[in-house]
Every structure is written in C-alpha cells, then in structure tokens.
C-alpha cells in the first residue's frame, strides 16, 4: 500500500533552521562517538583497565548510535 505524500513548502528561514538543526544533531552525535571511542581506547589499550563502567559506555554508545541512525533515516 503506497501513499503519495507531498512535503509542505518551507520558507527560507524554516529551511535554514531545519538545516541548522540537522547539522547540530549530526555533529553532536559524531562528537559523542569520538569522545567515547577515545575513552574506551585509553582504558582498554593504554591503561589496560576495562571495567564495568566501560561496558556500560559501550552499551550506551551502541543504543545511541542506533537511535541516531534511525532518526537520521526518519524511522518513526
């Protein structure tokens, strides 16, 4: 069953705000992935102390990344 939905026309200001919002969402998502990855790398390979809190970070990062991917694709 397919329905054709037309997207509403946005003004220039609304398009700017939408682009800005997408940019902020993507940049903060990538920043959190980078910071968590560096923390996990330091704990696992430099300090050689990978604990339960690091496992929680891995789970949180996986859930955050999957939610970020779904929201980027527009899955509701």
> What's the pLDDT at 2?
55
Mean pLDDT, 10 residues at a time, the chain of 76 residues: 66 92 87 92 95 93 77 64
> What's the pLDDT at 47?
94
Cβ within 8 Å of residue 61, ≥6 positions away: 32, 33, 36, 37
Dump the DSSP string for 30-44.
Answer: HHHHHHHHHHHHIII
> Of the candidates 8, 17, 14, 57, which has an alpha carbon nearest to the alpha carbon of residue 35?
57
Q: Which two tokens stand for residue 35?
A: 């910071």
> What's the pLDDT at 50?
93
> What's the pLDDT at 61?
87
């Amino acid at each position: 069953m397919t329905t054709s939905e037309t997207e509403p026309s946005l003004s220039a200001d609304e398009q700017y705000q939408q682009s800005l919002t997408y940019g902020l969402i993507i940049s903060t998502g990538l920043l959190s992935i980078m910071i968590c990855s560096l923390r996990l790398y330091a704990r696992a390979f430099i300090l050689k102390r990978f604990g339960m809190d690091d496992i929680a970070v891995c789970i949180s990062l996986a859930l955050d990344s999957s939610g970020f991917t779904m929201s980027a694709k527009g899955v509701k």
